[in-house]
Amino acid sequence: MKNIFSNKEFLKKTTLVLFALLFCVFALWAKQDQPPAKAPAPENAAKANPVKPTPESLAKGKKLYVIDCAMCHGDNGNGKGDMASDMKNVTDFTNPDALKNRTDGELFYAIRKGKGEMPPEGDRAKDDDVWNLVNYIRSLAKK
């Protein structure tokens, strides 16, 4: 039997396949090095809330909340809105522990960019509106 490794065509193909594999491994490795797309960047978490939780801010926040958020987070913030029935972990804002360890900047970012099953608010709301929302949902926590 002829030695298979002396077959030029075979060698050529094997080399090609090996290079293709090597490339895949490299591509996977390079991908792993990138941070996940939705991880809040540290500068977002540290972003300070420029809007004070005045009655005016809370009223504006509530107005938007009723339109954009209540269907999932519930009218009173308990996470049991109409659309929440088939979602597992809609954040319950009435639970004082729910947002305890989150900075205002992180909440701002989650609202703006979305999180898990929550769709992003995107550019629909102005920065101040998103801060009003942050202030409002914090006011829903039971004391």
The residues of the shown chain that bind ligand HEC, judged by CB under 6 A, are 68-69, 71-73, 83, 87, 89-91, 102, 106-107, 110-111, 115-119, 121, 133, 137
**Separation CA 43–CA 49 (nearest Å):** 13
DSSP state of 12: H
Q: Rounded to the nearest 10 degrees, how much is the dihedral formed by the CA atoms of 80, 83, 87, 93?
A: -40
Q: Please name the amino acid found at residue 37.
A: A
Q: Shortest Cβ distance from residue 34 to ligand HEC (Å)?
A: 20
Enter the tokens of residue 134. Answer: 């942050």
Q: Shortest Cβ distance from residue 71 to ligand HEC (Å)?
A: 6
Q: Shortest Cβ distance from residue 142 to ligand HEC (Å)?
A: 16
Residue among 8 and 80 whose Cβ is closer to ligand HEC: 80
